[in-house]
Structure 1
Amino acid sequence: MLSERGLQIVDKLIENNRTPITSKTLAIYLGVSERSVKTYIKEVSDFCNEHSMILERKPGIGFVADFTDQQIKQVADLKRDKKIVMSKEQRMSYIMYILLSGWDTYTLSLFSEELNVSKKVISDDINSIFKEFSKYNIRINRVAGHGVFITGDEFSIRRAMKSYCKYSIGNKVIREASDNRISVEDQELWINNFGQDNFEKSVEVIHYIEETYGIAYTDYSFKMLADYLCIQLFRVRMGNVITEDIIPEDENIKYSDIVDKVVEKFSSLSKCKLNEYEKQYIEILLASASVQSNTDLYKAISSDKEEKAKKISGEMLEYLSEILNIDLTSNELLKISMENFVPSSLIRTRYGIEATNPFLGDIREMYSGIFATCFTLTRFYEKYCGAIPTDHEISFLALFVGGALHRNVKTIRAVILGTSGIAASTIVARKIESRIEEIKIVAILSSELMDTIDQYDCDIVLSMISSFEYEDKVVHISPIISAEDEKNIKSKCFEIISHPELQKQGFYSLIDIDNILFVNEKLDKEKILREACKRLYNGGYVNKDFFDDVMKREKIEPTAIGNGVAIPHGTPDNVIKPKVFVVRLSHPINWGGKMVDTIFILAINFDNIGSTKAFFHDFARLLGSGDKIARIRKSSDIREMEKILKEELSWE
């Protein structure tokens, strides 16, 4: 449903119809932070998509609505009638909440009446929910005369609640968060969905752990613990408890003594007893949480894992060093960060616990190359915990690695080439240097002096002249230095930072016209991937299990990486000969919450360090550039796309 603030944004968009409005302006109008605006814009965007209303986000410019008079009238009618206005995602979230909370008396008619849509719409929503719940082995049951209800194990139901209960059911408004590590929006969500007392008791338990053991949880760990503990108390108080082991007998996480104290405190606060299986739940949560100080609790729970953490994080850094052609193993800050992060990350991945990185979207958009490169680290997770990490886990690793690259790289020498006077170009230069610390502007040239560029020793040329080309050094920018400009500059810097002399024999054949597909009709993700994998199989590149392998990975964690791109892939065991299958969609599709129109199905053996290093050097550079992806999108047929891809990947 559209929240009150979401509806306020729609009103503001109508007021500024066909005129750009920035997130900063919306933040001032709503009296919230710009980060909060992103949350509300998401629900507004879902609402607009559901009602075929055009809302575009233009980087560096703002949000531009193009609503018809009829659509504006419909919004006014909905407001006047005081109906609940919901997007499909919000309807599904509401239905999921009801089912996951344990209600078994809701019928299609009751959902239809509450949500102001037809029973057919509710039935379609439940079919979509069925696919989502299957990831957690939760079954939806529809029994005539008994409503709709779910069955599944308690641990899975709680993990599903964490993932899917994204919108407030209640209407309690929170003005100030009780801890600076959580946002007002998150606290409001948890209180409205799981109860204020449950929330307060959960936070009190976390503070008790910190005070008792002299530690401080990271912001993402604090938020994770508060969320899962709140859900636990909510479920237990409703009579839903875990009744079987969730930690295998052969695995000892070594938290039992600490858990006993936490359970005792939890029980005294909440006035409810937690059984031995609920203790296992808390033990997993504590093992999944990262702390900010290496003191009593860290030593108590991590001493026996310290060597293993060093070993695994060391292997990861050696692997990335090979791919990026930079020695990351000698970076002490990065080593310490990885050694502290990896143990809890492996536990989270092993048990399906989600720790949210609030900067995931920014990392996908601004650091696509580094994010794509860190994607290859999934091989270590599969090796050491037998599961695939979420995008959030990968994005944390990308932050660590990206930070190390920016701290240790040489200064990138750049020349500014402008269309106007030196004064205006100087302002542009200062903007760039203030936003991208590795850039050093060594010269500012007007268009009349472009022929003298050979006189300057530079790594890149930042040109405001759209037609100017100079070797492989040019990044075309606008005078305003938009978010897209900044992203393209950072992508070029990343390319220079990790620019080894690579052996690319055979890379030319990785992409060919027989493995490029233009899809002009509306198809879902599974049908698209099935057709692509069928062609790869018929071509002798993969075995028959490749498609199932790809779909299994997609169900666990969608492979959309931003910029309208997804990179689905299978395990090396199912790859016979390396190949990249490219799909271009005329109609973008939802790929795990990101809209995707360009798909690269990677049949690549990531165990081969040489080919992985060479491939991802070029591929990361491609994915990180909005200009390069835009050029691919403009290709009119498969031959043109093949040519453009090989040119942009330097495989010609």
Structure 2
Amino acid sequence: MNHRQKELLRILLVDEEGVWHIKDLSERLDCAEKTVRNDLDRLEEHLRAYPSAKLIRKPGFGISVECDEEERSEILRALLSSEPKTSEERLFEIAFQLLTSSQAITLQFFADRYYVPKAMIKKDIEAITTWLGRFGLELVSKPRVGNIIQGQELQKRNALAHLSELISSLSQDKNVVLDLFLPYEISIVKKALGDMKERFSIAITDSAVESLLVHALIMVKRTRQKSPVFVQNSEKEMAHERKEYEYTTWLFDILESAFGLPFPEEERVYFTWHLISCKRTEEGMNETLKVDEAITEIVSAAIRKMSKLTMVPYETDPILGSGLTVHMQAVLNRIKFGFPITNPLLSNIKKMYPYMFNMVMIMIEDIKRDFQLEIPEDEAAYLVLHFQASVERLGKKREAKKKALIVCHMGIGMSHLLEAKIEQQYQDIDIIACIGKADVLEYLNNQRIDFIISTIPLEKIKTDHIVISPLFGQEDKKKLSQFVEGLKQKQDKFLVPNVISKFLAEELLFFDVKKVHRYEVVEMLADALFQKGYVSKEYIHSAVNRERNSATAIGGGIAIPHGNPSLVHQSAIATAILKERLEWGSERVSLVFMLAIAKEDHSEIRGIIGKIASLSETPLVVHALTAARDYQEVLTIIGDKE
């Protein structure tokens, strides 16, 4: 039996006293009545293996299963054993059922379905309730009635589309939301989307196509369930003027024919919004886009602000301008239409580029004030990549390429394949030779290189080196990027010694700090800076508000909160050594450096954050700092590291 037939049998077995009509079963299973009749024939054959079991089909009365209790339990156990559910899969399916049900569902129903105690189901419900809050939804439990989700249909669909994020382990390899739909439905929608993309030459990313696939499948299901979205007439008129509405109309003609399902006009507008909000590929940047004047102003303001903050001439990089314009158009549409995204790279971006991330978050505060536009940190992290890429492009004009040596143990062919991959991926790395391990020492005696990329461990080699796989997969690329970034930080350290110690003040160093929430730590440090005259009073609110927008932990038990630099009178770093580790976003922190760097000292901030980031990569130093008991000891530890 397939999944649908097993579910049909389970429904009939669980409901011992009631009867079901074909129409009710087809709606419950989300399939045609003819399909249910065919499935009942299959069930009838399956039940012949159980002497007391009998499928009752009475015209005008309904359908049920007659069976003694022992065999009923045996059949249910067989169903369960043939399709075991992990606790994570159960949580995932319960959330899906609640989001797609118009009726309250009891704990007992779920307990019977998954053969677990009601107390376990109650814990699942609590976890789902917390997660639903991200989408503005509320799970209401009514005594003797059951549990039902309250909220707008648009919010429910957003939650459905992001179900894979409910459990991180389920979303590592693929979008498991697709497993909730029938293969033929996925096939129909995927082909239609592919044809639409090809017919109209729509240059959007693969992840955008998958997102459209998920939303289209949800749309089909919710339309069948007669749960449409609400769209105002003015929004319909605006959608009709977009070229994306033309693409949607073409797509919906195909889907209506394939599913025999008429879609309301609101669904067409809703899908047009998604199409407008899609991420475009690099080729898509060259398309003729309808760019709102406001987007151009926002991008220009962002580039100006970032240039002042970082003293990098971003205005001279045309690629940044065009890339940000295309990207911001999608960002603004996602914000406008209420399509939140989750950036899977957020944590890594914060750790790899702490300086740029914090500069972007400061820039975003100005954008919010000037344009009444609030950009969430998940979107901000993508902006970091645009500006970081620009820094590297502009840097190539001023800096020579880093010279690297490849040491490979798998022959010339593999060596040169690895060389080609690296030079294609990293334009600022110049591979000067590919040699075997036996020739390394002699080569280093005669040639100057910056670092070595090796496919095997190298003993007694003092030159900076990294070991990667000769196949150079995604993990290797990430590893090499972190290695190169680490070398840059080491270089910064050599050029700017004692940059942290320069701004540490004894009157701003606090030991054994015990607080309940990270906001309290931020407020305490900002207030200390104000009381000592380093910042204005408004800085306190600015720092707390910045922390609310995005947690400032950078890994290694360290956080670097800060406020608006325009509110700083004299540069200083206020430091808190926490008595116990404190939750700081998705991490736990024991060491907090509040950066209050005035505009005139802003040339120092890249070095400061670089040094603190290097501290976060040395656990022993962080441990030593958290164990320090006076100002001089802290200076000594940091001085040794610097």
Fold-level similarity (TM above 0.5): yes
Q: Deviations over 1:57-102 (max 9, x none)?
A: xxxxxxxxxxxxxxxxxxxxxx999963335xx6654443232223
Secondary structure, in 3 states, of the residue corresponding to 2:203?
Answer: coil
Residues 204 and 284, structure 2, Cα contact 8 Å, conserved in 1? no
The correspondence for 2:381, drawn from 377, 394, 407, is 394
* Residue 328 (structure 2) pairs with residue 332 (structure 1): no
| Letter of the structure 2 residue corresponding to residue 493 of structure 1 | K
Partner Cα separation in structure 2 for residue 354 and residue 262 of structure 1: 21
Given the alignment, which residue of 599, 602, 617 partners 1:627?
617
SS of residue matched to 1:216: coil
Please give the alpha-carbon distance, in whole angstroms, between the structure 2 residues aligned to 1:629 and 1:637.
12
The number of equivalent residue pairs is 519
State how 1:308-323 maps to structure 2 within 5 Å: 308-323=294-309
Change (3 A) 1:531 1:159: same
- Structure 2 match to 1:210: 197
Q: Is 1:233 the counterpart of 2:228 in the alignment? A: no
Q: Distance in 2 between matches of 1:376 and 1:318?
A: 13
CA distance in structure 2 between the aligned counterparts of 1:512 and 1:603, rounded to whole angstroms: 15
Q: Does 1:163 align with 2:153?
A: no
Report if aligned partners of 1:413, 1:459 keep a CA contact under 8 Å in 2: yes
Please give the alpha-carbon distance, in whole angstroms, between the structure 1 residues aligned to 2:234 and 2:557: 39
Residue matched to 2:49: none
Q: CA deviation at 1:288?
A: 1.2
Deviations 1:534-579 (A, max 9, x none): 534664756786797467535xxx6555566555667789999986
Contact 1:367-1:624 within 8 A present in 2 as well: no
Q: For residue 6 of structure 1, what is the aligned residue in structure 2?
A: none
The corresponding residue for 2:549 is 553
AA partner of residue 635 (structure 2): K
1:414 and 1:439 in contact (8 A); partners too: yes
Question: In 2, distance between residues paired with 1:478 and 1:400?
Answer: 27
Following superposition, the deviation at residue 343 of structure 1 comes to 1.5
| TM-score where L is the length of structure 1 | 0.61
Change in 2 beyond 3 A, CA 1:572/1:437: closer
In structure 1, how many angstroms separate the alpha carbons of the residues matched to 2:101 and 2:347?
32
Superposition deviation, residue 143 in structure 1: 0.5
Q: Are residues 268 and 218 of structure 1, via their aligned partners in 2, closer, same or farther at CA, if it must alter by over 3 Å?
A: closer
Matched ranges for 1:445-524 at <5 A = 487-493=482-488, 508-509=503-504, 514-515=509-510
1:148 aligned counterpart, secondary structure: strand
In the TM superposition, residue 149 of structure 1 has moved relative to its aligned partner by 1.3
1:221 to 2:220 alignment: no
Structure 1 window deviating more from structure 2 (558-567 vs 309-318): it is 558-567
User: Matches of 2:490 and 2:343 in 1, distance apart?
Assistant: 25
Give yes or no for contact 2:568–2:596 (8 Å, CA) kept in 1. yes
Give 1:504 shift: 8.2
In structure 2, the residue corresponding to 1:402 is in which secondary structure? helix
TM-aligned CA distance change 1:160 to 1:485, over 3 Å = same
Do the aligned residues in 1 keep the contact of 2:403 with 2:450 (CA within 8 Å)? yes
Contact 2:252 2:268 survives alignment (8 Å): no
Aligned-residue offset at 1:587: 5.9
Does the CA-based 8 Å contact 2:577-2:592 persist in structure 1?
Answer: yes
Name the Cα RMSD after superposition.
Answer: 5.7
Partner of residue 99, structure 1:
98
Q: Name the counterpart of 1:353.
A: 339
- Which residue in 2 is equivalent to 1:136? 135
Would the alpha carbon gap of residues 588 and 411 (structure 1) be closer, same or farther in structure 2, given more than 3 Å must change?
farther
Cα distance, 1:498–1:344 mapped onto 2, change above 3 Å: farther
1:558-637 → structure 2 map (5 Å cutoff): 582=576, 591-592=585-586, 595-597=587-589, 600=592, 610=600, 614-623=604-613, 627-628=617-618, 631-637=621-627
TM-score normalised to structure 2 length: 0.62
Match of 1:284 in 2: 273
Question: 510, 514, 517: which is aligned to 1:528?
Answer: 517
Please list the CA deviations of residues 462-488 of structure 1 after superposition, one character each: whole Å capped at 9, or x if unmatched.
9x99999xxxxx997677799768624
What is the aligned partner in structure 1 of residue 43 from structure 2? none
1:589 and 1:597 in contact (8 A); partners too: yes
Query: In the alignment, is residue 193 of structure 1 matched against residue 188 of structure 2?
Result: no
| Structure 1 residue 210, shift from structure 2 partner | 2.6
Determine helix, strand or coil for the equivalent of 1:286.
helix
Amino acid at match of 2:207: Y
State the partner residue of 2:251.
Answer: 265
CA distance in 2 between partners of 1:506 and 1:413 (Å): 30
Whether 1:154 and 2:137 are equivalent positions in the alignment is no
Instruction: Give runs of aligned pairs for residues 290-439 of structure 1, distance below 5 A.
Output: 290-292=279-281, 298-299=287-288, 302-305=289-292, 307-354=293-340, 363=349, 366-379=352-365, 382=368, 383-384=370-371, 386-391=373-378, 393-395=380-382, 397-398=384-385, 401-402=388-389, 405=392, 408-409=395-396, 410-411=399-400, 438=428
Q: 1:295 to 1:570 in 2, by over 3 A?
A: closer
What residue in structure 1 maps to residue 85 of structure 2?
84
Q: 2:202 and 2:402 mapped to 1: Cα distance?
A: 43
Instruction: Please report how far the alpha carbon of residue 342 of structure 1 lies from its aligned counterpart in structure 2 after TM superposition.
Output: 2.0
Aligned-pair identity (%): 15
Q: Please state how far the C-alpha of 1:440 moved relative to its aligned partner.
A: 6.3
Distance 1:296 1:515, change over 3 A: closer
How much has 1:239 moved relative to structure 2? 1.9
Distance 1:457 1:551, change over 3 A: closer
Shift in Å, 1:240: 1.7
Quote how far apart the aligned CAs of 1:374 are.
3.9
Deviation at 1:142, TM superposition (A): 0.5
For 1:55, the equivalent position in structure 2 comes to none
CA deviations 1:435-480 (Å, max 9, x no partner) are 866356999xxxxxxxxx9x99998999x99999xxxxx9976777
The equivalent of 1:420 in structure 2 is none
Measured against aligned partners, the alpha-carbon deviations of 1:267-319 in whole angstroms (never above 9, x if no partner) come to 551344444543442332122123347789943xx3342x5444433333343
8 Å contact kept, 2:508–2:528: no
The amino acid across from 2:486 in the alignment is S
Distance in 2 of aligned mates of 1:513 and 1:365: 25
**SS of residue paired to 2:178:** helix
* SS of the residue 1:185 aligns to: coil
Determine which structure has greater relative contact order: mean sequence separation of CA pairs < 8 Å that are 6+ residues apart, divided by chain length. Answer: 1
> Cα deviation per residue 1:28-75 (whole Å; 9 max; x = unaligned)?
xxxxxxxxxxxxxxxxxxxxxxxxxxxxxxxxxxxxxxxxxxxxxxxx
Distance 1:587 1:562, change over 3 A: closer
State yes or no: 1:127 paired with 2:116.
Answer: no
Q: How big is the shift at 1:150?
A: 0.9
Kept in 1, the 8 Å contact 2:157–2:218? The answer is: yes
Whole-angstrom distance in 2 between the partners of 1:312 and 1:500: 35
Local SS of the residue matching 1:492: helix
**Cα pair 1:245 1:280 within 8 Å, conserved:** no
AA of the residue aligned to 2:301: E
What is the deviation of 1:322?
4.0
1:73 aligns to what?
none
Offset, 1:337: 2.0
Picking from 219, 239, 242, the partner of 2:229 is: 242
CA separation of 1:496/1:370 partners in 2, compared to 1, >3 Å: closer, same or farther? farther
Q: Is the 8 Å Cα contact of residues 288 and 344 (structure 1) preserved in structure 2?
A: yes
Q: Secondary structure of the residue that 1:635 maps to in structure 2?
A: helix
Structure 2 residue aligned with 1:447 = none
Matched to 1:553, the amino acid is N
